[in-house]
Structure 1
Amino acid sequence: MSANIGGRVLMGFFDENHKKIISAFMALKNKAVLLEKCTLRGDYTINKNDLPFIRVRNYYTNLKDVCDLPIVFMINEELSNMAARHYCPDLLLEIHDEKHLTPFVQINGKPARLSDDDFLSSVSDVRKLLSERINGMVSSLMLDFTVSAFSCFENWISKLYSGYAKKLEAEYEESRRAKIVELLARHGEADSEDAKTKCLEKILSVRSGYRSFPDKVNALFKMVDKKAYVRDINHDKEVIDFLGACRNTVHNSGVYRGKPREVTCNGVTYALQTNKAWYNQSYPQAIALLGELTEIYSALIKSLDDWPVEVVSEEDLDVVSMTQFEFGVNLVLRCDGETVFEDYLVNKLGVGRLQARNISRLLKKIKSAGFRDPEDFCVFELLTQDLLQSIDSKSA
């Protein structure tokens, strides 16, 4: 530990393990930023431009959002610890004195009162959460993060699958029907009850048209260009299966009920033991394993080059402002008025001065080219330009 000297906290003041956990969460966010930039650069640029009327959601932006809560929790935990938690009793006392918290609770719509001993024990337990039980809270945080991070991956993989679902499910249904027809024919030709029973069991075992998440993953991997997929497909399936099993422990209060299983990634072996919670000695390593999902998703996107854009990203628009922006752009392309439009962007639509100036200069550049038909112009040509880097007026 060290002291605060001259307004600065010397190194070594904060908990070493917590610093590593915070860094691991931040590193995962940074990985999402880099992979979004490399994989969906247009989305990355639109969001970076920070225009008030459009944002784009995708797997990477959702994962960054998932990381935010544990980062806030862990940083607040360290700041609270730095203050030696002196303010916790004061906070609890103020909550009690202002009647935000009382011994009364609602049960079946009627008030019920805790005994004084039980109420005081409840308050004392909250104080212990911030000292004696903080490691258990970090463990719960990791389970919540595992659930959220994997669910984020599952959602966007399912959306990616939906871009091919019509074709894939038609092929699957045709194969399924052919198999059932064949088994029915065998059943009709069977010359004994035992043979008919076996055929019937096989008919009943033919899977329905429902496609589980593992089915969708396998279908996508079958479609990838094997030369373009830069990772080991079989190993990636093992990672997905393992983390899916970790996520599913949420249905058993964090306890794994299946057969023992393990996966090795980047030289580290992770294990799930029957009737035990998923635990790894290093939380940063566990966070890094979840980060593998980000690389798997990126590799899939890059090796499946014919997906519809709507299955990898969603626009979040202020429709009125976006319509006004589009109208203004089209008006400027047909007549002069770049300066007026720049002021309109700043004063009416809340666009930053630098972004507005660059939009104006880009429009001027497009008009000066002389060969562009305004009817063929799309505003996303502007939105996907880096508007935070000053554009030379001479080049425009």
Structure 2
Amino acid sequence: MFVTYVSMVMALQSFAIDAMLPALGLMARDLGGIAENDRQWIIAAFPISAGLGALIPGSLADRFGRRPILLVALTSYSLTALACAFAQSFTAMIALRVVSGFSAAGLSVLPMALIRDRANGDTMARLQSLMMTVFMIVPVLAPIVGQGLLWLGSWRLIFVAMALLGFAIALWTLLRVEETLDTAHRQPIRPSAIWANVRSVFRTRASSVYIVVQTLLLGAMFGFINSSQQLIAEAFSKPRQYPIILAVLISALCAGNYANSRLVERAGARVVCFRGLLTYASCSFLLIIVASQAHPSLELIGLAVGAAFFSQGFITGNANALAMGPFARSAGSASSVLSFVRVVGSSALGALIGQAYNGTARPFAYAMLGTSLFAITLIHWLNSDIDRSTQRCRF
């Protein structure tokens, strides 16, 4: 039940992104004439602002507890979603999405702190993967739900659904969720204490490396998601099949996370993460070959992207656990810093990749390969340094 709860909290932000995808064309039409790629900002504005807001809730949760900060974030998520349902212009929609993401930033920060309160090491990596497995059910279903709501009526129903989900999980939190923060670990709200916690994250080399790895791969994935509607629904003329295709691709990520949860405690998070990266880079190289053909096949593009997403399931949860591991006493602050870097960095990178869309799969294919090779270089450097120190860690 605990894993399901934290997964659903985190999945609210995913629903706020993925449920919009089938409606982007209609929203762009109804909210005013905008440039072709500008519609992507309806998606990108939310995670970028959530990343900027991520620096706040962690420190508050380290002082006042996880539960009250979660309730504030859930309430804000629901109210701002209702406001978006009544937006009358593109500018108003983007402004409301920014406010929504910023004020509900705790939904991405606090699930990691909740897990760190209960576990560490490879056990934490297993819980992270289980959480991601359940969490990924929402982005699988969200585009289908969004398309279904479009069949029932306006795209504004999607925001009403967001609000109802937020209120439902707020009620779950209020009635069934207990505080996980040990009273002995409560941190003071002082600038010096907060700065010390932030500085400790960046001074921990492993945490810095693994959060950059997450940022790079999530950025490439966001780049694909931002441009997926234009590529699949428009370039390949598959508007009705688009939600199903996207759901299948995200299901591959879900399957990878589940497989990782079964493997990681036996093989170790560090080893599994690195090998997952090698596989991801290989799949990205194959995607470039397919996307560079004169008449690329959507089926082959989907197979390559799906294989890469499956490999990513062995990377992100493990990287997150390895980044959070050293911070038992300041899990909220550490989660805030890591979420800020990961969400802002990956959202900005994803927006840049999305804006590079040129009617083909090549921009995000090159991005996937480039980010994975850089991530491999960083982890190889980190692990080589660990090997020299311990003389026992090897792949």
| Larger of the two Rg values belongs to structure | 1
Q: Between Structure 1 and Structure 2, which shows a larger proportion of helix residues?
A: 2
Confirm or deny a common fold (TM above 0.5).
Answer: no
TM-score by length of 2: 0.26
Q: Between Structure 1 and Structure 2, which shows a larger proportion of strand residues?
A: 1
